Amino acid sequence: MLCLLVATAIALIAVRGLLASIMLTSVYGLLSASFFVTMDAVDVAFTEAAVGAGVSPLLLLLTVAIVGRREAASNARRLVVPLLLVTVTGALLIIGTLDMPSFGSPDAPAQTHVAPRYLQQSGDEIGIPNVVTSVLASYRAYDTLGEVLVIFTAGVAVLLALAPAGQGGSARAEPPAPEHLAPHTILQVVSKLLIPFMLLFAFYVQFHGEYGPGGGFQAGVIFASGIILYGLLYGLPTVCRVIPPPVVEVLAAVGALIYGLTGVLSLLAGKNFLDYSALAADPVTGQHIGIIAIELGVGIAVAAVIITIYYAFAGRLHTRED
Amino acid sequence: MDVFSYFNYWVVVVLMMLGFFIVIARGNLVKKLIGLNIFQTSVFILYISAGKVMGGAAPILADGVELYSNPLPHVLILTAIVVGIATTSVGLALVVRIHAAYGTVEEADILEQDATC
Amino acid sequence: MSTLWLWASDACLLIGSFLLLTGALGFLRFPDFYARIHACGVTETLATGFVLLGLLLRSDDAMPQVKLVLILLFVLFSSPTASHALAKAAWNAGVRPRDNSGKRRVSLPHTDP
Contact B41, A92 (CB under 8 A): no
Q: Is residue C39 assigned to a domain?
A: yes
User: What is the percent of chain C where pLDDT is above 70?
Assistant: 86
**What number is the average pLDDT over the span A166-177?**
46
CB of C85 less than 8 A from some CB of A? yes
The domain segmentation of chain A, as residue ranges, is: 1-72, 130-322
Q: Is residue C101 assigned to a domain?
A: no
Q: Is residue C97 assigned to a domain?
A: no
**What number is the average pLDDT over the span C82-89?**
84
- CA nearest to A55 within chain B: B85
- Which of B85, B99, B107 should one mutate to test binding to chain A, selecting the residue with the greatest count of A CBs within 10 A? B85
- Asked if residue A166 has pLDDT above 60, the reply is no
Query: Are A190 and C77 in contact (CB < 8 Å)?
Result: yes
CA dihedral sign, ordered B3, B43, A53, A64: negative
**How far is residue A11's CA from residue A27's CA, in Å, rounded to a whole number?**
11
Q: What is the pLDDT of residues B3-19, one digit of tens each?
A: 667 778 888 888 888 88
- Asked if residue A177 has pLDDT above 70, the reply is no
Q: Which residues pair with C98 in a beta bridge?
A: C105
- CA nearest to C76 within chain A: A190
Query: Are A190 and C81 in contact (CB < 8 Å)?
Result: yes
CB neighbours of A168 closer than 8 A, spacing ≥ 6? Answer: none
**What number is the average pLDDT over the span A19-48?**
87
A219 C-beta neighbours (distance < 10 Å), count = 29
CB neighbours of A39 closer than 8 A, spacing ≥ 6? Answer: B48, B49, B51, B52, B69
Q: Is residue C29 assigned to a domain?
A: yes
Cα diameter, chain A: 70
User: How does residue A178 score in pLDDT terms, banded at 50, 70 and 90?
Assistant: very low
**How far is residue A101's CA from residue B51's CA, in Å, rounded to a whole number?**
11
Q: Which of A40-44, A165-169, A244-248, A304-308 has the lowest mean pLDDT?
A: A165-169
C99 C-beta neighbours (distance < 10 Å), count = 12
Give the model's pLDDT for residue B1. Answer: 47
Q: What is the pLDDT of residues C27-68, one digit of tens each?
A: 888 878 888 888 888 888 888 888 998 888 888 788 888 888
Give the model's pLDDT for residue A271. Answer: 77
Residues (pLDDT < 70) of chain B are 1-4
Selected residue with higher pLDDT from A185 and A200: A200
A31 C-beta neighbours (distance < 10 Å), count = 22
Average pLDDT, chain A: 81
A48 C-beta neighbours (distance < 10 Å), count = 32
Residue numbers in A near B110 (CB within 8 A) = none
Q: Which of A181, A187, A193 sits opposite C85 (nearest CB)?
A: A187
Integer angstrom CA distances of residue B26 from A23, A249, B65, B107: 18, 35, 48, 8
Q: Which of A242-251, A294-303, B61-70, C61-70 has the lowest mean pLDDT?
A: B61-70
**How far is residue A96's CA from residue B69's CA, in Å, rounded to a whole number?**
24
Contacts 24+ apart (CB under 8 A), A19-23: A19/A61, A19/A64, A19/A69, A21/A71, A21/B30, A21/B31, A21/B34, A22/A57, A22/A60, A22/A61, A22/A64, A22/B34, A23/A57
Residue A99, φ and ψ in degrees, nearest 5? -85, -5
Considering the segment(s) B3-116 as one domain, its CATH architecture is Orthogonal Bundle (1.10)
Q: Which of A203-212, B81-90, C94-103 has the lowest mean pLDDT?
A: C94-103
User: How does residue A206 score in pLDDT terms, banded at 50, 70 and 90?
Assistant: confident
Chains B and C touch (3+ CB pairs under 8 A): no
- Asked if residue C75 has pLDDT above 80, the reply is yes
Query: Are A187 and C84 in contact (CB < 8 Å)?
Result: yes
- Which of A23, A184, A232 should one mutate to test binding to chain C, selecting the residue with the greatest count of C CBs within 10 A? A184
User: How does residue A35 score in pLDDT terms, banded at 50, 70 and 90?
Assistant: confident
Chains with ≥3 CB–CB distances under 8 Å to B: A
Residues 23-52 of B with CB under 8 A from A: 24-28, 30-31, 33-35, 37-38, 41, 44-45, 48-52
Q: Which of A172-186, A213-227, A252-266 has the lowest mean pLDDT?
A: A172-186
Q: What is the pLDDT of residues A80-117, one digit of tens each?
A: 888 888 888 888 888 887 777 777 777 777 777 777 77
**How far is residue A247's CA from residue A304's CA, in Å, rounded to a whole number?**
9
Give the model's pLDDT for residue C107. Answer: 62
Contact B59, A27 (CB under 8 A): no
**How far is residue A37's CA from residue A41's CA, in Å, rounded to a whole number?**
5
Q: What is the DSSP code (8-state) at residue B68?
A: B
- Please report, to the nearest 10 degrees, the dihedral formed by the alpha carbons of residues B39, B113, A316, A150 taken in order: 40
Which of A154, A61, A27 shows the shortest CA–CA distance to B30? A61
- Asked if residue C108 has pLDDT above 70, the reply is no
Contact B20, A89 (CB under 8 A): yes
Q: Which of A27-31, A153-157, B19-23, C87-91 has the lowest mean pLDDT?
A: C87-91
Burial of A156 (0-12, 13-18, 19+ CB in 10 A): middle
Residue C82, domain extent = 3-92
Give the model's pLDDT for residue A307. Answer: 92
Residue numbers in B near A119 (CB within 8 A) = 59, 61, 68, 71
Q: Which residues pair with B60 in a beta bridge?
A: A130
Q: What is the pLDDT of residues A122-144, one digit of tens each?
A: 777 777 778 888 888 788 888 88
| Complex ipTM more than 0.85, yes or no | yes
Q: Is residue C51 assigned to a domain?
A: yes
Cβ-based contacts under 8 A for chains A and C: 18
**How far is residue A215's CA from residue B31's CA, in Å, rounded to a whole number?**
32
The domain segmentation of chain B, as residue ranges, is: 3-116
Q: Which residues pair with B28 in a beta bridge?
A: B106
**What number is the average pLDDT over the span A7-35?**
83
Give the model's pLDDT for residue B48. Answer: 86
B72 C-beta neighbours (distance < 10 Å), count = 25
Query: Are B53 and A104 in contact (CB < 8 Å)?
Result: yes
Query: Are B34 and A12 in contact (CB < 8 Å)?
Result: yes
- Asked if residue A176 has pLDDT above 80, the reply is no
User: What is the percent of chain A where pLDDT is above 90?
Assistant: 7
- CA nearest to A186 within chain C: C81
